[in-house]
Amino acid sequence: MLFNSIDFGIFLPIVFLLYWAMSKKVKAQNVFLLVASYFFYGWWDWRYLSLVLLCSVTNYVAGVLMMRVNEDSDDAQKRRRLILTVCCLVSFGVLGVFKYYDFFVTSFVDAFSMLGIHLQATTLHLILPVGISFYTFHTLSYTIDVYRRKFEPTKDIVSFFLFVSIFPLAMAGPIERATNLLPQIYKRRTFDYALAVDGMRQILWGLFKKIVIADNCATIANEIFNNSATYSGSTLLLGAIFFTFQIYGDFSGYSDMALGIGKLLGFRFLRNFNFPYFSRDIAEFWRRWHISLNTWFRDYLYIPLGGSRGSKWQIVRNTFIIFLVSGFWHGANWTFIAWGAYHAILFLPVILLGKNRKHTDTVAEGRILPTLKEVCQMAVTFGLVVFGWILFRAENITHAWEYISGIFSTSLFAIPNISPDANGTYGVAISLSFIAIMLIIEWLNRQKQHGLRIDNTNLSVLKWGIYFALIIIIWAFGGQQEKFIYFQF
């Protein structure tokens, strides 16, 4: 069930009304929300609910078992470590079979083929369950925190199962932490009108970014990437830029909708995007892009490896490990690993020179316009990110190389020419116009939690004008419905 579908447009109001009708009974609310979440996930394919249940049961039991051996003795610590290890093996094992088995088999066969040895191997061709990477990391953060004694394991099985599968986060995150979400599930939730209104604003903004920005950009980007050999360098560059805004509108739009739906239900989920295309260097970009995943890797991989505290060699090693793993998390394709390596190379000078925390404030804070220096910093960072997205979007490494080579050709200076299949010049002009609108609105609200967070009560007429304008634009200019990109991860 997609957030931008008619099915969900019927599902959400029903859930909202029944949920708040039970506001005096938190246990009833949690049971109802759990059933609704399983229904939401099962709408895609009910058979894969078994994987959600397996992940939930494994991590719940692991938490309970660790609670029973909570002593400080060496023997107790060994048993806790064993429990954590088994839990990780089960969780990562399921993820590995469904997401990476075919990749490893084909890569193994291809490697031997290069040596002149031809092997026969069977691949499984399994359908990747939607959201499996998200709820796997979601639950493992709980188990690892319990192991580290940062969080008391829960005995409330309904609350824990809801934590794993709550429907706004079930398909594509953000990756929640038990320390943030479980306490909200335990306590009684009362309807907060101001929070719900802000949630509706955030849902509207997410819909605009998904339906108007991402789906329209997808039409152009898909046409250019799928037929890259026939296009000029300037058109290929334009295609890369459109994919850059497609993936941002798609994923940040989903996150905005997820957070907005959470607010309608009385929850405050973790923020996942903080206007990353206004970043002044690559380190700032990674603090603002897919925040929940990046902080997960920081806390559970990078810091345990030593972070940036060791020798220069250790810093280089740890940086490459975290970016390569992040790339591999995104998909079983060498293009994602190359994308991770590319960003590791970009990140190394910043971290080795100790400048990775240089830009922790908001660009042009307290000012409407940025300085010329800030404009140049943002432009360079954006350009580097655009070329990284080519690796991310390409079908394979060969395609990525040919695409980038095509950009750096004499035809880079030709006038871009888009096929009529992508609505030609008209489609490009419309898409660029809406991208400009999005950037202006987000720039003006870059110090807020989302693009439509307008708190000034004196601007009520302007606010309602913007809301109605966005609704009309979504209705009149929405692109062809596309699945959310991150569903494949």
**Confidence (pLDDT) at 228:** 94
Please state, rounded to an integer, the average pLDDT across all residues of the chain.
91
pTM of the model: 0.93
- Look up residue 333 and give its two tokens: 């394709």
Is the Cβ–Cβ distance between 140 and 177 less than 8 Å? no
Give pLDDT, residue 370.
96
Amino acid symbol at 434: F
What pLDDT was estimated at residue 117? Answer: 73
Whether residue 470 is predicted with pLDDT greater than 80 in this model: the reply is: yes
The per-residue pLDDT for 424 is 64
Amino acid at 420: P
What is the pLDDT, as a whole number, of residue 346? Answer: 96
The alpha carbons of the chain give a radius of gyration, in whole angstroms, of 23
- Asked if pLDDT for residue 101 goes beyond 90, the answer is no
Longest dimension (CA), the chain: 74
Share of the chain above pLDDT 70, in %: 95
Which residue has better confidence, 134 or 310? 134
B/e letters for 277-295, b = 16+ CB within 10 Å, e = fewer, are bbbbbbbbbbbbbbbbbbb
Give me the mean pLDDT over the 182-191 stretch: 94
Q: How many CA atoms lie within 13 A of 88 on its CB side?
A: 12
The Cβ of residue 229 has, within 10 Å, a number of other Cβ atoms equal to 10
Note the pLDDT of residue 130.
85
Percent of the chain past pLDDT 90, that is, above it, reads: 72
CA distance 26 to 19: 10
When comparing pLDDT for 74 and 318, which is higher? 318
pLDDT in tens, 272-316: 999 999 999 999 999 999 999 999 999 999 999 998 888 889 999
Please check whether residue 335 is in contact with residue 403, taking contact to mean a CB–CB distance below 8 angstroms. Answer: no
Most confident listed range (29-33, 43-47, 350-354): 29-33
Nearest to 387 by CA among 335, 348, 427: 335
What per-residue confidence (pLDDT) applies to 99? 86
For residue 39, pLDDT beyond 70 = yes
330 assigned to active site: yes
What gap in Å lies between CA 128 and CA 125, rounded to an integer?
A: 9
User: What's the first-to-final CA gap in the chain, in angstroms?
Assistant: 16
Q: Is the pLDDT of residue 100 over 90?
A: no
> Which position among 138, 290, 330, 399 bears the catalytic label?
330
